[in-house]
Amino acid sequence: MRNLLLLLIPVALIGCRAYKDVELQAINGVEVQRLDKDGIAARVNVTINNPNGFRIKVSDPDVDLYLNGTNVGKATLDSAVVLDKRSTHTYDIPLHARFEGQGSMALITIMGAVLSGETRIGAKGTVAASAFLLKKRFPFDVEERVPLND
């Protein structure tokens, strides 16, 4: 057992050293699937570059969701997303958010966005990424203008 542990430690350290940051290159679109006073369910189409030589599973987010700068609640992934190794791909990410008692304020923000024809969608928080036996939380803060009239 001790020999196995001594073998795994260098492998884990080499794997950590070789890690390169994953890059969210673009939010291509947002498809709202459900919207009511309790929350929103959407599918976000994003382009992500994974320069690493291994697949990365993204799960367990702790994400605050913003519409036009207004916090509308915590976002949750409906399923884990697996990023292919050494690739830039487009992924559909299913998520939902509960408005956490702010339903009327969120709906007013959304109605204003619909009338203006675009909205700013922001997400700030951390996400867990795992590869093999390693798991690490990564912070992120993104905001993107999304047209609503397409």
The CATH number assigned to the domain holding 118 equals: 2.60.40.10
Task: Show the tokens assigned to 112.
Answer: 């204003």
pLDDT for residue 4:
47
Q: Is 76 within the bounds of a domain?
A: yes
Query: Is 7 a domain residue?
Result: no
When divided into structural domains, the chain yields a total of 1
> Is 135 a member of any domain?
yes
DSSP 3-state of 21? coil
E-strand spans in the chain? 23-36, 39-50, 56-67, 70-77, 81-83, 87-98, 118-131, 134-147
Give the whole-angstrom CA distance, residue 121 versus residue 69: 8
Give me the DSSP letters along 58-82.
Answer: EEEEEEEEEETTEEEEEEEESS-EE
What is the rounded CA–CA span in Å between residue 55 and residue 37? 38
Global pTM reads 0.68
The answer to whether position 126 is within a domain reads: yes
Specify the 3-state DSSP secondary structure of 8: helix
Enclosing domain of residue 93: 21-147
Segment 24-55, tens digit of pLDDT: 888 787 787 887 777 888 888 889 999 999 89
- Is 74 among the domain residues? yes
Provide the H-helix boundaries in 18-120: 103-116
What are the Cα distances from residue 127, in Å, to 8, 56, 123, 137, 138? Answer: 25, 12, 11, 5, 5
Query: From CA 99, how far away is CA 119, in angstroms rounded?
Result: 17
The ranges of the chain with pLDDT < 70 are 1-17, 101-104, 148-150
Q: Is 58 part of a structural domain of the chain?
A: yes
